[in-house]
Amino acid sequence: MASSSTTTKSLLSSTFSASKSSSSTVTKASLLSLLRSTSATPISQKLSHSHNSRHHYYSVSPIKNVLKTATESETSLSKYPDVDLVSSDSKPTILVSEKLGSAGIELLKGFGDVDCSYNLSPEQLCEKISRCDALIVRSGTKVTREVFEAAKGRLKVVGRAGVGIDNVDLQAATEFGCLVVNAPTANTVAAAEHGIALLAAMARNVSQADASMKSVKGPLEEKNLTLWDGCEFAGKWERNKYVGVSMVGKTVAVMGFGKVGSEVARRAKGLGMNVIAHDPYAPADRARAIGVELVSFEQAIATADFISLHMPLIPTTSKIFNDQTFSKMKKGVRIVNVARGGVIDEDALVRALDSGIVAQAALDVFIEEPPQTDSKLIQHHNVTVTPHLGASTKEAQEGVAIEIAEAVVGALKGELSATAVNAPMVPPEILFELAPYVVLAEKLGRLAVQLVAGGSGIKSIKVTYRSARDPDDLDTRLLRAMITKGIIEPISSSFVNLVNADFTAKQKGLRISEERMVVDANPEFPVDSIQVQISNVDSKFASAVSENGDVSIEGKVKFGVPHLTCLGSFGVDVSLEGNLILCRQVDQPGMIGKVGNILGEQNVNVSFMSVGRTVRRNKAIMAIGVDEEPNKDALNKIGQVPAIEEFVFLKL
Ligand SMILES: NC(=O)c1ccc[n+]([C@@H]2O[C@H](COP(=O)([O-])OP(=O)(O)OC[C@H]3O[C@@H](n4cnc5c(N)ncnc54)[C@H](O)[C@@H]3O)[C@@H](O)[C@H]2O)c1
Ligand SMILES: O=C(O)[C@H](O)COP(=O)(O)O
């Protein structure tokens, strides 16, 4: 496995300092192009790519004219940039569309050109985005499908400086192969503290009492603004009116027992409250560890004196608090929302407040932000509001800025992010182990697709991983994505990466099934061999068809280098580098010399030759590795050698 560590280092090294083209850098390019978020166009839309070589940092060698019988037209093949590896001299451009902590900005500036443009209209954002490699937002920027379309494939990563990614169209990001990362941890405590602050402020009428004491004279009056109902008598001293409720001994239901929810629970326990929680996905032992009982949704809302919301806004939680659920709550319940406005039906909340089911609400988040100033909810005298301040502490903002800057820089370098939202997270140690197999997987995909005859319409692919290890020990997502990339890229205008591999395969109608087989091999290595079988297709090279009628190839990693070890029913041993000529011939002496001479006459350097056969002096497969691409004349001459029954030229 000599070169495996080199490969992994390359994999994790800077995308922006890569050097040009050797076979190992092509390998690096292939890896990075999968692992970083390369530009991509959804197949469904067939947008034309703008392959600006200055910014399209890596691309994979095109398979041009080689497999004219590929399943798609040459027009789509010709869209590929005619380069093996393009390294960019320019820095990436990172657009920061909302205020970010200075430490994060400094970190970004060390890596790219940073454009801090706040308050952009949707049109301005769409106009700018095609010149940006990364975009960093908070909750105020809507990163819509239009934004990804307008990016024309250049946008590689969207960083959300915070937790909630409901303002990013994740489906569109995935379709366009754009990685989305967030900063999920740095504002947890700030949000929890704000939740507790609102809970206490609401219980003790702090904001109402505060407003009642302040004089209405001054700026508000001059601008003809009014405060909420009941506050016309500001400047008062109304001790009886603002008698609150105590928190000690009361039951608070924490809805969503994730990072913020559990911190709120911990703090509520400190206030002497009885804490219950509802979260369909939270482990009971984590709740038990801090003395919290996990209960059903119905039980939580029916028994709580206070309800604190900490779930994400997703389709299943959208307006989960509505007329029906309010009607099941204990009369006089008090609600805090520092999660997302959309989890509450705001009109229903106004009705519940008016009817007294809900005594009070304290809200940091709203369906529309900022909300309309005449919103009944905002103006309601039993409602305390803050303008989405949950994450707004100095400490949290610096933390979030650093967290997101590191994630975005890492993604631009091609590293897998621990906070990726739309790509599988693969731990570094697994990545390290799998690196050489990732290369093998892509090469096998590339090879397999070139062996399929044109017009066959690939639909069904089976991948078999043989390994000495327990099947559960092998995370194949990377390998599957690479095989998908290898199969799709040579025959379409799509770029495939880890983010969009499964989506792209689905769009293409490819069914990729996987099987893991335990074999007697060295358990030190995660994979012994990978076999790719394509069913129900004709082959351009009949010898690649196995006994069961599938185009079938198998490969192994030997000393860190990917090898083809089986083709149809023939055992071979060919290193998968450069270009490959496969010939089926009558097994007889002198064949290597004949073909070698033809190539030599054309100044094509042979890097290796290998012969595989099933039966002695019957049929044999000759695999010839060549550094240069032989011209048509040389290929014709090979085809005319009498003992050669079929041959194919493949570019890896
Ligand atoms: N107001 C702010 O400034 C602010 C700051 C930080 C976080 N937030 C928001 O707070 C929420 C929680 O953030 P977090 O960091 O704790 O996220 P998290 O992912 O750690 O926790 C969310 C929890 O909600 C649970 N959940 C999912 N569906 C649920 C359902 N139907 N019912 C109950 N629970 C459900 C999940 O299992 C998870 O445990 C998010 O919406 C986030 O955007 C707001
Ligand atoms: O989801 C979050 O992280 C919070 O809502 C914070 O959002 P903000 O970055 O817009 O303050």
| Ligand 1 closest atom vs CA 255 | 33
Is 232 a residue whose pLDDT tops 90? Answer: no
| Least reliable range by pLDDT among 280-289, 414-423, 577-586, 616-625 | 616-625
| Ligand 1 closest atom vs CA 312 | 41
Q: Region 326-355: what's the mean pLDDT?
A: 98
Task: Name residue 369's amino acid.
Answer: E
| Ligand 1 closest atom vs CA 256 | 34
Q: pLDDT value at position 588?
A: 72
For residues 486 and 60, is the Cβ–Cβ distance under 8 A?
no
Is 29 a residue whose pLDDT tops 50? Answer: no
Which residues participate in catalysis according to the annotation? 340, 369, 388
**Alpha-carbon span 533 to 552, nearest angstrom:** 4
Is 403 a residue whose pLDDT tops 70? Answer: yes
Convert the pLDDT of each residue in 134-161 to its tens digit.
999 999 999 999 999 999 999 999 999 9
Percentage of the chain modeled with pLDDT above 90: 57
Q: pLDDT value at position 79?
A: 25
pTM for the full model? 0.74
| Least reliable range by pLDDT among 238-247, 424-433, 439-448 | 424-433
| Least reliable range by pLDDT among 343-347, 457-461, 608-612, 646-650 | 608-612
Alpha carbon of 17 to ligand 2 centroid (Å): 34
Q: Is 162 in the pocket of ligand 2 (CB under 6 A)?
A: yes
| Least reliable range by pLDDT among 178-187, 336-345, 450-459 | 450-459
| Ligand 2 closest atom vs CA 165 | 1
Indicate the helix (H) or strand (E) that contains 535: strand 529-535
Nearest CA to ligand 2 atom 5: 164
Q: Region 381-392: what's the mean pLDDT?
A: 98
Q: pLDDT value at position 614?
A: 59
For residues 411 and 417, is the Cβ–Cβ distance under 8 A?
yes
Closest CA to 359 of 576, 208, 578: 208
Alpha carbon of 396 to ligand 2 centroid (Å): 10
Q: Region 207-221: what's the mean pLDDT?
A: 76
Closest CA to 95 of 412, 425, 400: 412
For residues 557 and 1, is the Cβ–Cβ distance under 8 A?
yes
**Alpha-carbon span 637 to 594, nearest angstrom:** 10
Indicate the helix (H) or strand (E) that contains 606: strand 606-613
Q: Is 163 in the pocket of ligand 2 (CB under 6 A)?
A: yes
Closest listed ligand to the CA of 277? 1
Alpha carbon of 81 to ligand 2 centroid (Å): 40
Q: Region 429-450: what's the mean pLDDT?
A: 91
Task: Name residue 240's amino acid.
Answer: N
> What pLDDT band is residue 228 in, cutting at 50, 70 and 90?
low
**Alpha-carbon span 352 to 368, nearest angstrom:** 20
Nearest CA to ligand 1 atom 18: 258
Alpha carbon of 144 to ligand 2 centroid (Å): 17
Closest CA to 553 of 439, 447, 435: 447
| Least reliable range by pLDDT among 70-74, 539-543, 613-617 | 70-74
Is 610 a residue whose pLDDT tops 70? Answer: yes
- Burial category of 116 from C-beta neighbours within 10 Å (exposed 0-12, middle 13-18, buried 19 and up): middle
More reliable by pLDDT, 566 or 493: 566
Is 91 a residue whose pLDDT tops 90? Answer: yes
Most ligand 1 atoms within 8 A of CB, residue of 260, 292, 309, 385 to mutate: 260
**Alpha-carbon span 547 to 212, nearest angstrom:** 87
Q: pLDDT value at position 6?
A: 28
- Burial category of 6 from C-beta neighbours within 10 Å (exposed 0-12, middle 13-18, buried 19 and up): middle
> What pLDDT band is residue 46 in, cutting at 50, 70 and 90?
very low
More reliable by pLDDT, 175 or 494: 175
* DSSP letter assigned to residue 244: -
Q: Which of 14-28, 606-620, 626-640 has the highest mean pLDDT?
A: 626-640
Question: For residue 39, how many C-alpha atoms fall within 13 Å in the half-sphere facing its CB?
Answer: 29
| Least reliable range by pLDDT among 323-332, 350-359, 543-552 | 543-552
Q: pLDDT value at position 9?
A: 26
Convert the pLDDT of each residue in 184-205 to its tens digit.
999 999 999 999 999 999 999 9
* DSSP letter assigned to residue 615: S
Percentage of the chain modeled with pLDDT above 70: 82
Contacts of 398 (CB under 8 A, 6+ apart): 101, 102, 103, 104
Alpha carbon of 163 to ligand 2 centroid (Å): 6
Most ligand 1 atoms within 8 A of CB, residue of 160, 163, 294 to mutate: 163
- Name residue, tokens 């609102």: 198
Nearest CA to ligand 2 atom 11: 391
Query: Quick check: ipTM above 0.95?
Result: yes
More reliable by pLDDT, 90 or 176: 176
Ligand 1: residues with CB < 6 A are: 163-164, 184, 187-188, 191, 255-261, 278-282, 310-313, 316-317, 338-340, 364-365, 388, 390-391
| Ligand 2 closest atom vs CA 338 | 5
**Alpha-carbon span 108 to 151, nearest angstrom:** 20
Structural domains present in the chain: 93-182+398-413 (3.40.50.720), 187-213+244-385 (3.40.50.720), 428-651 (3.30.1330.90)
More reliable by pLDDT, 590 or 256: 256
Is 40 a residue whose pLDDT tops 90? Answer: no
Q: Is 164 in the pocket of ligand 2 (CB under 6 A)?
A: yes
Q: pLDDT value at position 540?
A: 87
| Least reliable range by pLDDT among 137-141, 250-254, 559-563, 623-627 | 623-627
For residues 506 and 569, is the Cβ–Cβ distance under 8 A?
no
Is 464 a residue whose pLDDT tops 80? Answer: yes
Q: pLDDT value at position 149?
A: 97
Alpha carbon of 312 to ligand 1 centroid (Å): 4
Alpha carbon of 260 to ligand 1 centroid (Å): 7
Q: pLDDT value at position 216?
A: 61
Q: pLDDT value at position 596?
A: 85
More reliable by pLDDT, 176 or 229: 176
Q: Is 390 in the pocket of ligand 2 (CB under 6 A)?
A: yes
Q: Is 187 in the pocket of ligand 2 (CB under 6 A)?
A: yes
Q: pLDDT value at position 89?
A: 56
Average pLDDT, the chain: 83
Convert the pLDDT of each residue in 416-426 to its tens digit.
677 888 887 77
